Chain A
Amino acid sequence: MLNEHDIQTLLQRVINRSPGDETEVLFLGLDEALTRFANNEIHQNVAETNFSLAVSVAFGKRVGMAATSDLSDAALDRLLEQAAMLARLQPENPDFPGFAPPAEFPAGRQAFDEATAAATPEFRARAVGEVLRYAVDRGAVASGAFSTSRYQWAIATSHGLFAWQPLTLAELTIVAMTETGSGYAADAAWQVEQIPVAQWGKIAVDKALASQNPRDIPPGEYPVVLEASAVQDLVAFIGGGANGMSVTEGSSWMSGRQGQALFSPAITLVDDPAAPEHWPMAFDFEGTPRQPLTLIRQGVVGDAYYNRQWAARTGHPATGHGTPPINPFEPGSAMGRAMFPLHLTLQAGDTPIEQLIATVERGLYVTRFNYTRTVHPREVVVTGLTRDGTFWIEGGEIAYPVKNLRFTQSYVEALQHVAAVGDTLHREPAYGGFTRNPALQLTQFRFTGKTEF
């Protein structure tokens, strides 16, 4: 494995050889191992060592990008030639802001854990084994995945910037099933020891047992208690829509509403890359220091996030949310510099989950949502289904399990109807890491269809 010095030397070698007016070099490396289980056995158990070097070369405002996994001198020369050729052949991008200058990166944002980096297949198998044994003993079937990964991200520019950060991440998802019920639990952390695998297994299996023989209920508008895993979906859609491009172009829920009291005052949504209990990161994939941001403050619409290009276009400062120009680990996915929040936290309130349930006379308790998609972007109208444990609440108590329902609901509107916010933050795996969310009680949520299970 390359260390910081090796990577800095490599990146500088590329910059030194570059023919461009400006050059940016990004190194992405990962060692990922994932133990997947289903039908109470381990069935897919994998490991990956992967890395890529992406070089962007600019002549004036013409920019070309090329990436490779071959780090030989000959390959690096070809890479530079390729990027330079692509840059020369295209018209100017008037909004190109140049590559990042040197910056003062915040200290202390540490998210590398030796134990997570060193986790073995046997370590993961034995942890998963506890879940499987608990499921087998209770007549349930467990499925899921437990992964431990280490990453190295480094960036250098011809303006003298160099930044490097090693990270680790562990993720767990469990779905337990019986003939007619299912349960779910998930967790993520940069220190694997923070994930109580067996405890999550028990929660998933117990919920699968509790959700057996679900009853039919008609679609309609109901008060709901959303577990933190379900709330994650609202957080991801609302957080994802706060990107500076959509906000500027007018397609975001945030467009033209900044400063307005759009949501319930109980809602505060932040993106905090400094929080040690999240996944601390010092810089983004363009070399910009990652800034804490408040997207919603006590219901009032706050700030959007910007990468360098959209910052330059709009006059806002870049906030440190730039994504890589390419996903080298998934060829065929779209290229292009975008922006994304990796540290979303919906702030907790002061109501225990039991109280969230106890104050609902008649309504639904939802464990999580599944297969959610935008129907209309401006009001964040989303459709999807409940999954892995949906229950009817009667007189402030969980009364019985119900069959899953389809919903079609504006998430903006949903967060206007917050009755109470849970007092505990849960880490929920999400694209590119995890979010932290409490449970919510909403006074209304619109269910538009039903299922047979």
Chain B
Amino acid sequence: MKDLLALALNRAQLLGAAYADVRILTTREQSVGVRNGVVEEVGELENAGFGVRVLVDGAWGFASSARLTREEVERVTAEAIAIARASALFQQHRVFLGPAEVHQAVYRTPLEIDPFSVPIEDKIALLLEADQLMRAEAGVKVTNGHLVCLRKQQYFASTEGAAIEQELVETGGAIMALAIANGEVQRRSYPNVFRDQHAEGWEFIQRLDFPGHAPRVGAEAVALLSAEQCPSKITTLILDRTQLGLQVHESCGHPTELDRVFGTEAAYAGTSFLTPEKLGVFRYGSELVNITADATTPRGLGTFGYDDEGVPAQRVPLVREGRFVGYLTSRETATQLAYLRGEDPSLARSTGAMRASGWNRLPIIRMTNINLEPGTWELEDLIADTDEGIYMETNKSWSIDNLRLNFLFGTELAYEIKNGKRGKLYKNATYTGMTPEFWGSCDAICNATYWGVWGVPNCGKGQPAQTAHPGHGAAPARFRNIRVGVMK
């Protein structure tokens, strides 16, 4: 591997690159899927390749291949150079990367139980048991469950002298029940329908305890069929930590990505309302709101040692006591921001958020673990303190505009809160709002006992499309004067 890394870097320099980096990545993935009591899919994937990123005449080029041979490394490096020269034909600015990032390091995801060491038959048995327990509830029409284990072995080297080896392991899974009757379809899932996924081993799946939750999942899906429609009104809203994690993802994580702010995602993912003049002064939320980008969160899906530019994992405040104070950056955008703010670009360091979904993709700014820091409340006290409102749990639908302001989310389940107690069950719950007003209305966040990270293994961005795996920590929180029940 080291020979191929060196070959790519030498070749790039000989062909005129002022900077080059190369990543060689081998991915192993195992997936087990069960549907309606039948094992539908058991599969293993191994995929390996390399990507070469070069800077020529101040413009980027990137090329990649699945053929790990010396000849292919030479061909692909030359292709990256040719692409960079084509980029330079229509260029408004020269890329500047700021201070060199020269790290030699090895990082491995801490594991208790290697998920690939768990026998496949145990994984199948676990899902079949949960599946049977969900189907024991009369009225459940469809059930499924799946498990995913992922191991990425990555080597990174740059012409600045970086040499980093990382082994990143992820383990995830979910179960789901669908109840269908009289034209009504209701879903309940655990932990959510896409699966929760962590940067840890099989111990995560053990903690999830699918069989322990399966009867509840089945029963709640059926109960939702006869539940009342979520009323349409303005009220107090309490969100569980998983829905709140997605709220953080969409309304804080994405708008603090500095590439969006600078317009380089405008055609696809969109831009951001958090423009540079707001940095340090904009009131993003109430004083209770503290949001941190933390690539070091234990077990977080967005936890790693170094990003795909070789920048160390960091813990960076994005919102402090309700004020917007930070961005997710790359080396290039950090220097651009410094320039805009009249600071010295040659001192500007990245916050370490450049990630590529594979060897075949250019790194772009992605979320790490974007965490809402815990507050002080006990959940039962929070409910007891709420005269009238709605509690919503587990994401079902999500949509937000391309500046990340106007959102509408739906959840699988909701409960009325009346006189400080949980009341009747509601189906088809939705809520909508504008990001700063919503976070500004936050008047309570539960304490660390209720706080946990969960993973989003399906975050799309970029052209060609890339799927990132960020994490989000949150505890349940309360919001005032929120519009709920937006569905015909």
Contact = CB atoms under 8 A, between A and B. Distances in A.
A328 B45 contact: yes
Given A35-B87, A329-B360, 15 more contacts: A36-B267, A50-B64, A68-B47, A83-B44, A124-B86, A129-B90, A177-B263, A329-B358, A376-B185, A381-B488, A383-B397, A385-B399, A387-B402, A452-B405, A452-B434
A141 B266 CA distance: 10
17 contacts: A38-B266, A41-B92, A42-B87, A46-B62, A46-B63, A47-B80, A48-B63, A65-B44, A68-B46, A69-B49, A89-B42, A94-B38, A328-B47, A331-B150, A373-B398, A376-B185, A453-B403
A251 B178 contact: yes
Contacts of A251: 142, 178, 180, 185
Given A89-B124, A93-B38, A375-B487, A126 B89 contact: yes
A165 interface: no
B410 interface: yes
B342 interface: no
Contacts of B121: 89-90
A337 B41 CA distance: 8
A45 B403 CA distance: 25
Interface string B51-92: 000000001111111110000100010011011111101111
A408 B458 CA distance: 23
Contacts of A446: 488
A45 B61 contact: yes
A326 interface: yes
A49 B399 contact: no
Contact of B33 (A35, A64, A335, A377): A335
Interface range for A: 35 or more
A409 B487 CA distance: 8
Nearest to A386: B401
Interface string B103-136: 0000000000000000111001000100000000
Contact of B49 (A37, A42, A50, A132): A50
B31 interface: yes
A238 to B, nearest CB: 16
A176 B416 CA distance: 45
Nearest to A32: B464
B377 interface: no
A448 B432 contact: yes
B262 A39 contact: yes
Contact of A174 (B185, B267, B464): B267
A288 to B, nearest CB: 18
Given A65-B41, A132-B90, A328-B47, A448 B486 contact: yes
A74 interface: no
B478 to A, nearest CB: 22
Contact of A38 (B146, B263, B487): B263
Nearest to B36: A249
Interface in A311-359: 325-326, 328-337
B66 A330 contact: no
Contacts of B401: 370-371, 385, 387, 404, 406, 451, 453
Interface stretch (A142-150, A271-279, A420-428, A434-442): A142-150
Contacts, number: 305
A408 B486 contact: yes
B430 interface: yes
A86 interface: yes
B48 interface: yes
Interface range for B: 35 or more
Contacts of B434: 452
Nearest to B465: A330
Given A39-B262, A42-B59, A64-B43, A122 B89 contact: yes
Contact of B408 (A34, A383, A387): A383
B146 to A, nearest CB: 7
Contacts of A52: 45, 47, 66
B82 A121 contact: yes
Contact of A406 (B47, B91, B408): B408
Contacts of A110: none
Interface of B: 27, 29, 31, 33, 38-49, 59-67, 72, 76, 79-80, 82-87, 89-93, 119-121, 124, 128, 141-142, 146, 148, 150, 170, 178, 180, 183-185, 262-268, 270, 357-358, 360-362, 364, 396-403, 405-406, 408, 410, 428, 430, 432, 434, 457-458, 463-465, 467, 469, 486-488
A67 interface: yes
B488 A408 contact: yes
Contacts of A85: 120
A171 to B, nearest CB: 9
A449 B84 CA distance: 43
B93 A47 contact: no
The 9 closest A-B pairs by CB, nearest first: A121-B86, A143-B267, A65-B43, A335-B31, A143-B266, A175-B267, A41-B92, A49-B65, A145-B463
A173 interface: yes
A91 B37 CA distance: 10
Contacts of A109: none
Interface string A376-400: 1110010111010000000000000
Contacts of A175: 266-267
B86 A125 contact: yes
A269 interface: no
Interface in A105-150: 120-122, 124-126, 128-129, 132, 141, 143-145, 147
A90 to B, nearest CB: 5
Contacts of B364: 44
A50 B60 CA distance: 21
Contacts of B61: 45, 121
A331 B466 CA distance: 10
Contacts of B262: 39
A330 B80 CA distance: 21
A146 B301 CA distance: 32
A42 B87 CA distance: 5
Nearest to A38: B264
Given A90-B124, A371-B401, A46 B43 contact: no
B133 to A, nearest CB: 17
A86 B120 contact: yes
Contacts of A66: 43-46
A25 to B, nearest CB: 14
Contacts of B65: 48-50
Given A330-B358, A449-B486, A451-B403, A95 B408 contact: no
Nearest to A186: B267
**Candidate in B263, B267, B467, B486 with the most chain A CB atoms within 10 angstroms:** B267
Interface in A174-219: 174-175, 177
Contacts of A334: 31, 33, 146, 148
A331 B488 contact: no
A40 interface: yes
A43 interface: yes
B399 A43 contact: no
A151 to B, nearest CB: 13
Contacts of B265: 38
A450 B403 CA distance: 13
